[in-house]
Structure 1
Amino acid sequence: MEFLVKSGSPEKQRVGCVVVGIFERRKPSPQAQALDAASGGLIGSVMRRGDMDGKLGQTTFLHGLDDLFCDRILLVGCGRERDFDERAYRKACVAAARELDKVGGVDAAHYLTELNVKGRDDVRWQVKQAALATREVFYRFEACKGQDYKKYTRKLSRLVFQVPRRSDLPPGETGIREADAIGHGVDFAKELGNLPGNICTPSYLADQAAELSKRLPAVKTKVLEEDEMRKLGMNALLAVSAGSEQPAKLIVMEYNNAPANTKPTVLVGKGITFDSGGISIKPAATMDEMKFDMCGAASVFGTLQAAAELELPINLVGIVASSENLPDGKAIKPGDIVTTMSGQTVEILNTDAEGRLVLCDTLTYVERTYKPEYVVDIATLTGACVIALGSHAAALYSNNNRLRRSLRDAGNAIGDRAWPMPLWEDYQSQLDSNFADFANVGGREAGSVTAACFLHRFARDLRWAHLDIAGVAWNSGKQKGATGRPVGLLTQFLIDSVAG
């Protein structure tokens, strides 16, 4: 799919489809008014018949346009004009994309990008959001379909986002460039997340890192094997892989496009390619979704790719701590005690709280190796996070106010939100252990908070944030699949860091 930005009148477009908005109470947008006048009142007659009243997300196609150059018009309901905010704009763009995915023409002109969005006067943002919404709808996972499966063929190959003035073309083109990079990163994360555990193993992720370096030479990759991790004392990470025949991998990807003395930002992703719960085995229902337990790692891959594609002038390190969590005779057991790379000891009360074990050693590795500016870990860490925030926002924990604000604001801007959560010392006592320095779980209360508090014990000397993405990393039910979140949030955070 090719995205372009142009400026021109809707009635003069020689394309397969022109997309315009209609507000509630049958109020046409200025672009719809122009088409209505040029067509002799066609849009007005459709609204009078009741085929389009402007409710948010409603769509209607118009054909037989003898007085116009375009083949068809797509009317998109935008809701009440005074309530047309960021959320409504995204919803309208998604509705348009769903209909365009069915259209027969090869090109379309998209005029929703010319609408006034409440609280926004930013062409770059509007074009970027429209492109991202379109990419979200157009994504298909077909990697594991059989030979007899008919691959989806989309006729629409070019989508032109319209802007009001020629002076709006440069910011619009910037929006397209950022949307392309973020979209490619999101798709990469989705592909990795949607692959089954028998394909997407820790070794497979290591191979993907090597392939990323081939595609984008600015990204350099190295992989630490279990023997190297053992020498470093990464016993918590290795305890998780003990029950699996698949060896753990610590995958390190470095993108350096700033002066060598510039401290890097480090992204750490939880890469449990399948999580059975180990000896503390999970219920069978929906256990298949535990292939998504590496979506934190997938978001690191996607963000590295997006940053390199945008050639951001930063130093960025992506580290993936990858393992399977399976039960067998060598697997860790409840009551076992492990000594982490930091020297702190942990009593394993629940082997299904394994993500924090692979992350804690990785955080110590980051501190000793990189002396970073910021560290953000991303993990499908706790079901408690889903209970607290549902599927709308990731949980955001941080020991640095500036980093917390930057991540929150980036999420709000891109529509990939995270909500700040407490990291108070009061919660640390829930991790008390009679036999080790502390336990790996803190009981049922505030489970997402105590998991973050566990990680904070290994990040006190870092400017650090933790994103618990258990509620947002994938969809269940009929629309089951990885979402690619929070690639958008993380990439926007990096873009904003360059802008200052």
Structure 2
Amino acid sequence: MLSVQTCPGMTEKPDTRILFVSEDMPLYKEENKALLCEKIRNLPEFGGKAEKIYFVSMPEEMPLPRVILVGVGKKEELDAERFRRAAAAAVKAAMEAKEKSPAIFLPDAEERLESETTVKAILEGLVLANYRFDVYKKESELKVLEKIIILAEKAALPRLEKLAAGVEAVCTATHLARTWVSTPSNDKRPEALCDMLEKAAASEGLETRRMGKKELEQLGFGAMLAVAQGSDAGPCLLTLHYNPEKTADKTVALVGKGVTFDSGGLDLKPPAGMEGMKMDMAGAAAVAATAIALARTRPSFRFIAAIPIVENMPSATAYRPGDVFRAYNGKSIEVMNTDAEGRLILADTLAWLADVEKPDLMLDMATLTGACMVALGDEIAGGFTEDSMLAHALAKAGEETFERCWPMPLPKDYKKLLKSELADLRNVSTTRNGGAITAALFLKEFTGETRWAHIDIAGPAYLSKASAYCPVGGSGFGVRLLHQLLTDLEKSGGL
């Protein structure tokens, strides 16, 4: 998708080239580009305002028929996300103009404009925006670009090619997660979703293993099996394994909630609450896609991704409020709400990984609670961990990727809200307040002594309105966040 080329040595001649324009500063050293940008910036209908697009048709004698200028706003407002959004706006404009392979000039007027942070953000915006989920439409409204050419000086080619390859590896994995989340539930029942994820992971060289109902019964996954018993579609636990070429000192475990459709079970959701529940496996999608991105970028640590997949349905065989089940680690759970099913399938998986794999770090990602959406809105995830260094690293990775993850508390005294008179604990709090916190505290009961963080992505996992670089549907949120977090921890020795 991304092709880094030098301007004199281009292997193809694009019909359109893209330039960035600021409201109040030059972004290019080269005189012709700078003059064109300055001239267009002065037009009142454009002005270089953020994400504003202006098309320029060049005279026939010019070798370049059309230029797309995209605004980035004022100098004082320029940051990585501003450039990411501007690059995405340029891609959308090129798609609407039915371009196939536009070329883009990267800003170079100041050192900070050429920094890895800025360039990476631009490349991310280009790839993230070049996506459509239209497999169910007879005719596609927009076609994705076949190629995006990045024009660079010859000396910068090696650095840019490496950066572009890394960005494409992660952002196209984000595309996969989006597609899996947007796929309707009738086409991704547990076995079908397991097939999708396993096939994609195996194609990237990951070792895969899947366990069905019998194997899960033998392992003692009582909580996960309880959720699954209401559906005629059996449960599946998919694991993806990566081992680096050299013996790894550290092991990371990733867990993603995979509820392919959540009706609420016998505690049935209202119709409006069910309509979007195909997205309740967004944690599974993000974790599988992160595993694929990591397989492409080849980290030095070993990792295992474990993805529990079920369907939560009401039926004569469904689990009931008041039932008690025993999880993998032996703890008994009183079910007080069958619509709090995600934490049950995560509980068994976390406990099993902590016991069998003994990872140095365990991260779970899930569309777990509406309470987290109430607290943080639709665009920010909640991060829960008792490890302050990990909390800081998670927040930092969120800022770097703009997949923001806000540190949330895990107060020990709130644990009393999960106390059951009948079992070791109940699956929901005795109060409606603080639901995201008590859900995280519930999960912590199954992590043992493992260093762990829980990421609640209920808000940003699915878009009801298009964002700057994602159409309506699954957002793929979490893939870039997790990859950035693990890359940062690997580099800093923080794993």
Q: Counterpart in 2 of 1:196?
A: 184
The reply on whether 1:484 has 2:463 as its aligned counterpart is no
TM, length-normalised to structure 1: 0.90
How many Å separate the matches in 2 of 1:255 and 1:66? 55
Structure 1 residues 302-330: Cα deviation after superposition (integer angstroms, max 9, x where no partner): 01111112223321111001101011111
TM, length-normalised to structure 2: 0.91
Q: Counterpart in 2 of 1:114?
A: 108
- SS of 2:187's partner is coil
How many Å separate the matches in 2 of 1:124 and 1:249? 41
The reply on whether 1:450 has 2:438 as its aligned counterpart is yes
Structure 2 counterpart of 1:179, from 158, 163, 167: 167
Structure 2 counterpart of 1:310, from 297, 307, 324: 297
Residue 397 of structure 2 aligns to which amino acid in structure 1? A
How many Å separate the matches in 2 of 1:480 and 1:186? 14
The reply on whether 1:416 has 2:403 as its aligned counterpart is yes
How many Å separate the matches in 1 of 2:273 and 2:118? 37
Residue 224 of structure 1 aligns to which amino acid in structure 2? M
Q: Counterpart in 2 of 1:34?
A: 32
Alignment of 1:240-251 (within 5 A): 240-251=227-238
Native 8 Å contact 2:257 2:284 kept in 1: yes
The reply on whether 1:23 has 2:22 as its aligned counterpart is yes
The reply on whether 1:85 has 2:79 as its aligned counterpart is yes
Of 318-327 and 489-498, deviating more is 489-498
Of 281-290 and 258-267, deviating more is 258-267
Q: Counterpart in 1 of 2:45?
A: 51
- SS of 1:51's partner is coil
How many Å separate the matches in 2 of 1:174 and 1:115? 22
How many Å separate the matches in 1 of 2:54 and 2:480? 30
Q: Counterpart in 2 of 1:61?
A: 55
Structure 1 residues 12-35: Cα deviation after superposition (integer angstroms, max 9, x where no partner): x9532222222225x553368523
Distance 1:465-1:445 versus aligned 2 partners, 3 A rule:
same
Residue 163 of structure 2 aligns to which amino acid in structure 1? G
Native 8 Å contact 1:392 1:471 kept in 2: yes
- SS of 1:60's partner is strand
Native 8 Å contact 1:113 1:126 kept in 2: no
* Offset of residue 156 of structure 1: 4.2
* Offset of residue 461 of structure 1: 0.7
* Offset of residue 210 of structure 1: 3.4
Structure 1 counterpart of 2:146, from 150, 157, 161: 157
* Offset of residue 350 of structure 1: 0.8
How many Å separate the matches in 2 of 1:93 and 1:386? 28
Q: Counterpart in 2 of 1:435?
A: 422
Q: Counterpart in 2 of 1:365?
A: 352
Alignment of 1:321-360 (within 5 A): 321-360=308-347
Structure 1 residues 194-239: Cα deviation after superposition (integer angstroms, max 9, x where no partner): 111111011112212431354123x111111111211222111111
Structure 1 residues 335-376: Cα deviation after superposition (integer angstroms, max 9, x where no partner): 111111111111111110100000011111101111101100
Q: Counterpart in 2 of 1:473?
A: 461
Distance 1:486-1:153 versus aligned 2 partners, 3 A rule:
same
- SS of 1:267's partner is strand
* Offset of residue 386 of structure 1: 0.6
Residue 57 of structure 2 aligns to which amino acid in structure 1? H
Structure 1 residues 64-110: Cα deviation after superposition (integer angstroms, max 9, x where no partner): 33564322111111111122112322221122121121234443221
How many Å separate the matches in 2 of 1:155 and 1:240? 39
Native 8 Å contact 2:261 2:278 kept in 1: yes
Q: Counterpart in 2 of 1:170?
A: 158
Structure 1 residues 399-436: Cα deviation after superposition (integer angstroms, max 9, x where no partner): 32332222222222222121111112021111122221
Structure 2 counterpart of 1:94, from 81, 88, 94: 88
How many Å separate the matches in 1 of 2:487 and 2:100? 32
* Offset of residue 462 of structure 1: 0.6
Q: Counterpart in 2 of 1:129?
A: 121
Native 8 Å contact 1:123 1:172 kept in 2: no
Residue 308 of structure 2 aligns to which amino acid in structure 1? A
Distance 1:342-1:122 versus aligned 2 partners, 3 A rule:
farther
Of 270-279 and 413-422, deviating more is 413-422
Distance 1:56-1:31 versus aligned 2 partners, 3 A rule:
farther
Native 8 Å contact 2:95 2:142 kept in 1: no
Q: Counterpart in 1 of 2:368?
A: 381
How many Å separate the matches in 1 of 2:94 and 2:252? 39
The reply on whether 1:390 has 2:361 as its aligned counterpart is no
Residue 29 of structure 1 aligns to which amino acid in structure 2? L
* Offset of residue 154 of structure 1: 3.8
Structure 1 residues 178-198: Cα deviation after superposition (integer angstroms, max 9, x where no partner): 111112211111111111111
* Percent identical residues: 32
Q: Counterpart in 2 of 1:495?
A: 487
Q: Counterpart in 1 of 2:200?
A: 212
Distance 1:335-1:121 versus aligned 2 partners, 3 A rule:
same
How many Å separate the matches in 2 of 1:460 and 1:383? 26
How many Å separate the matches in 2 of 1:400 and 1:54? 44
- SS of 2:488's partner is helix
Residue 34 of structure 1 aligns to which amino acid in structure 2? N
Of 207-216 and 268-277, deviating more is 207-216
How many Å separate the matches in 2 of 1:498 and 1:228? 34
Native 8 Å contact 1:113 1:161 kept in 2: no
In the alignment, structure 1 segments of 5+ residues that lack a partner are none
- SS of 2:420's partner is coil
How many Å separate the matches in 1 of 2:144 and 2:460? 31
Aligned residues: 485
Alignment of 1:268-307 (within 5 A): 268-307=255-294
Distance 1:74-1:402 versus aligned 2 partners, 3 A rule:
same
Q: Counterpart in 1 of 2:134?
A: 142
Native 8 Å contact 1:441 1:451 kept in 2: yes
Distance 1:43-1:261 versus aligned 2 partners, 3 A rule:
closer
Distance 1:33-1:446 versus aligned 2 partners, 3 A rule:
farther
RMSD, matched Cα: 2.4
In the alignment, structure 2 segments of 5+ residues that lack a partner are none
The reply on whether 1:3 has 2:2 as its aligned counterpart is yes
Native 8 Å contact 2:379 2:460 kept in 1: yes
Residue 345 of structure 1 aligns to which amino acid in structure 2? S
